[in-house]
Chains A and B, each alone.
Chain A
Amino acid sequence: AQKVTQAQTEISVVEKEDVTLDCVYETRDTTYYLFWYKQPPSGELVFLIRRNSFDEQNEISGRYSWNFQKSTSSFNFTITASQVVDSAVYFCALSDPGAAGNKLTFGGGTRVLVKP
């Protein structure tokens, strides 16, 4: 069975600090996809990034970066120089194409609070 664990339930930082969100996943499949979504206070779910299991390259997009390590089954997310607008709940999710329903298995989410 698939499982995604986000051990940090809430992180509070002061603006301009870096923050790293941990994500550890479990799956028996060799082909799978990992995602990060952002849920701001307004409630919508915003897609941030997708990574497939064969691509272990780290990725940077502006102040966001992602570190995928297959050996430790982790897909961590770092926000550099955080801003108040980064305050949100961030979800890591796993998709296994072989599983019925193309279901996304979500972690419990990490609430990030960036204080001015």
Chain B
Amino acid sequence: EAQVTQNPRYLITVTGKKLTVTCSQNMNHEYMSWYRQDPGLGLRQIYYSMNVEVTDKGDVPEGYKVSRKEKRNFPLILESPSPNQTSLYFCASSLSYGNQPQHFGDGTRLSIL
């Protein structure tokens, strides 16, 4: 089954404790990205990757890191999480850049205390 898989689905952690949210897609998609969804602010792009070893900042990259060492994986790293990073996070992938629909994972709900 074609899918984007995120882990964990839910996480409660404390300020400053490094965490990684994994994202993996099995569709051989070139393009991957991360969004966060917040009440009143909607969905905003954090980082994106057009292909292996190619990543760039989205609209709200502060406090996050990403890497794209393999085509299928695009982890989101919070080196020193803070409470303002409490949010619902989505990973997405698409076949290519531009006109292809982005397919989203099921989301990861992070709570930073």
A interface vs B, CB < 8 Å?
Answer: 33, 35, 37, 42-47, 50, 52, 91, 95, 97, 100-104, 106-109
B1 partner residues in chain A, CB cutoff 8 A: none
Given contacts A43-B106, A44-B104, list 6 more A-B pairs with CB under 8 A: A33-B98, A35-B101, A37-B104, A52-B99, A101-B58, A107-B42
CA of A99 to CA of B42, assembled, Å: 19
Indicate if the CB atoms of B107 and A45 lie closer than 8 Å: yes
Indicate if the CB atoms of B104 and A102 lie closer than 8 Å: no
A104 partner residues in chain B, CB cutoff 8 A: 35, 43, 45, 102
Residue B77 interfacial (CB < 8 Å): no
CB within 8 Å for A33 and B104 given contacts A101-B56, A102-B33, A103-B45:
no
